[in-house]
Amino acid sequence: MVGNTTGGVDLGVLGPFEVRISGAPRDVGGPRLRTLLAVLAAEAGHVVSVPALGRALWGERPPGNADRTVRTYLSRLRGSVDPRLILTRAPGYVLHVAPEALDSARFEQLAAEGRRALAAGEPDVAREYLAGALALWRGNAYEEFDDVETLKAEGMRLDRLRHNAVQDRIDADLATGEDTGLIAELEALTAAFPGHERLWAQLMTALYRAGRQGDALEAFRRARHGLITASGVEPSPVLAQVHRQVLAHDPGLLAVRSGAVATVPDDALAAGEHALLEDGDLRTSREQFDVAYRRAEQAGDTDTLARAALGLGGVWVHEHRTAATSALLRTRLRYALDRLDPAAPLAQRLRTRLAGEEDYEAGTHEKILAVLERTRAGDDPVAHAEALSIAHHCLLGPDDTAVRHRLATELVGVSTRSGRRTDLVMGVLWETVDQFLAGDPHAERMLGELDDLLAARKHLAAGFVADAVKVMLAIRAGRFHEAEQGAQACAELGQAAGDVDALGWYGAQLVAIRWFQGRLGDLVPVLDGLMHSPTLSARDNSYYAALAVAAASAGDRRTAAGALARLCGDDLGALPRSSTFLVSLCGAAETAYLLSDAETATRVSELLRPFAQLPAMASLAIACFGSVHYPLGTAALTTGDLDRAVAHLRAAVHHNLALSHWPAVVFSRRRQAEALLRRGGVGDAVAAERELRAADDEARIFTR
């Protein structure tokens, strides 16, 4: 199960870098050749540009002949391995191997199978998969390449997945009755990772099962002290629940569980509702609601069936992104609805969720707004609050600013009657997002209010959004290094919360960082893979736009034109008016400029003009590309309307200053200078020089 099945090349990165051909070790050459092969392996199946390979070898200061030297090294590398493995693909090279040729890919596949088995209540199967996954590790991932930024980041990602797999394996051990044999391992792990509450809960469970109640309570005291000292927070409800069980001599702690996590309460429905409504923990809630739904279906418990189906919908709309999982959710919602009295409160809530799911994917909002009106007329504040939040999520396009603001304000008011903390959190969160999307100068005050609310008690899903907005603000300030670190940490939080947007948002933030660094071309291979990701929203077309701009920036006109054609379809106006509508059009404007495509630029200008006063934001304000006046000015430059270009770009400078978006200010000034020089009117050359000097002065504050 854990061996390589390719029969040809086998690449080992989970420890010292190894290359085997037909089972025999192969020396591929010196450190630089090994580095190039490792970088290609990390992006196996995706093109890595020649400049990106050069940066892997020499950092940000490559020699003058770097591109030629990289190609020479690649030629030598092909001679060391099968030449068919390394293919030339503009603008660089791609390693053409089966996914299972890489031990890290086999590890991720086995770990995912183990987690699925764990969630399905099959801990024995999970243990086999997880043990196989962990057995592939021979050291630290990409351990000899710490000086290569991309490989260091990939190694850190794999190490985190390894840590998660260890915890999953321990859950599987506990679920099959293992306890005392785990204590020494868990003592070492909690010492190494004192902030990981799941490990402390596992240690307390193992100690209690070993008859060491006092030690289990002491473990909780140590965990609580460490959390308060390091972060000023109390233990999570899950860890506190284990503490209460130990104090109460709860026999449930001694039971061999068939569930996915050995430390959650036996009542899966209560555990799911607590995880969702109190903690914003989407991953745990989905696992628990799935268990509760299956049990209720077998027992014929209609009420529990309906509540579990509702819980599976989650906090957001369209959390179940793949066609299969989306269809399964709707089937369960309808199945539960068919078994309820149509007048029952739960039936109304099920209809609300179904309307939201259907409207979101269709890009409409008629159904959810009609359901919302019925909840307003009713006397169920919980149903009313859920309808408001779901409706808000279906109205994230730039046309809906005023309506969204009313919905968010109403939700905050209704939360006082619903009695659910999650409704207040979502109301404040939506108000915060709305203010940023509208370019409101007081948006950061609202973010502070959200922070205060989350400081009182964590809510993982809302905290993920708040942290993502802070990454956006760091990009606006030109603190690129801080923003990139924050984006990675934010993605980790999103994955921990079980948010399907974790990868997509990280990609959007990386696009913004590289765009303002002038390095967007580096991301062509990444974007080529991301735009096909099943975790992206069905209404998100922004990655086609990002790939088009990145490829055009790298000089790959064919890829750029293809991506732009996929984005435009028969008519750009048919793009869904979603939360990525404006940034998709911004990408179309920039690509049209780089490709001298006046026809596309004209259509972009028509579509963007009504939204000139808005900032171009992605999703829930998690990435900002500056004032919409900038792409309008760029489109005018492309069509040759120089007076309009100057006017729009002058407005872009002003609006970006108001946003404190310094990288966008610099870009706007430079393109304004270009427009002025091309127009060549009286005083335009002097004005252009003034804009360029100001842009250079402002650019000096940025951190790479």
Choosing among 1.10.287, 1.25.40, 3.40.50, 1.10.10, the CATH entry for 278-458 is 1.25.40
Q: Alpha helices, DSSP H only, in 66-175? A: 66-80, 103-119, 123-135, 149-175
Residue 29 carries which DSSP code?
-
Q: Quick check: 370 and 552 in contact, CB under 8 A? A: no
- Which amino acid makes up residue 672? Q
**C-alpha gyration radius of the chain:** 27
C-alpha 322 chain-centroid distance: 16
Determine the CATH number of domain 493-701: 1.25.40.10
Successive 10-residue mean pLDDT values, the chain, 704 residues: 51 89 82 89 85 87 87 87 83 85 89 86 88 91 85 87 91 80 88 89 88 87 86 76 82 54 56 90 90 90 94 92 84 95 94 94 91 93 96 93 95 91 95 96 94 89 95 96 91 86 90 94 81 68 91 93 92 90 96 96 97 96 97 98 97 97 97 97 96 92 62
Same fold yes or no, 278-458 and 493-701? yes
The CATH architecture assigned to 9-101 reads Orthogonal Bundle (1.10)
**583 contacts: CB under 8 Å, gap ≥ 6:** 508, 542, 545, 616, 617, 618, 623, 625
Cα gap 49→27, rounded to integer Å: 24
Q: pLDDT value at position 3?
A: 39
Can you say how many angstroms the Cα of residue 259 is from the centroid of all Cα atoms in its chain?
Answer: 27
pTM attached to this predicted model? 0.65
Bridge partner list, 703: 479
DSSP letters along 206-251, please?
Answer: HHHHTT-HHHHHHHHHHHHHHHHHHHS-PPPHHHHHHHHHHHTT-G
In this predicted model, what pLDDT tens digit does every residue of 575-623 receive, in sequence order? 988 899 999 999 999 999 999 999 999 999 999 999 999 999 999 999 9
Residues with Cβ within 8 Å of 586's Cβ and at least 6 positions away in sequence, in order, are: 545, 608, 616, 625, 628, 630, 631
Domain boundaries in the chain? Answer: 9-101, 192-252, 278-458, 493-701
Contact 391, 407 (CB under 8 A): yes
Q: Which residues of 613-642 are buried (b: 16+ CB within 10 A; e: fewer)?
A: ebbbbbbbbbbbbbbbbbbbbbbbbbbebb
Q: Are 263 and 202 in contact (CB under 8 A)?
A: yes
Residue with tokens 């920036």: 553
- Looking at residue 528, its pLDDT comes to 75
If one counts every other C-beta atom within 10 angstroms of the C-beta of residue 140, the result is: 17
In the sheet where 92-95 sits, what is the strand order? 48-49, 92-95, 86-89
Q: What residue has token string 């009420």?
A: 303
**Rounded Cα distance, 30 and 343, in Å:** 74
Tell me the C-alpha to C-alpha distance, in Å, between residue 176 and each of 93, 245, 251, 262, 694: 47, 19, 16, 9, 67
CB 67 within 8 A of CB 521: no
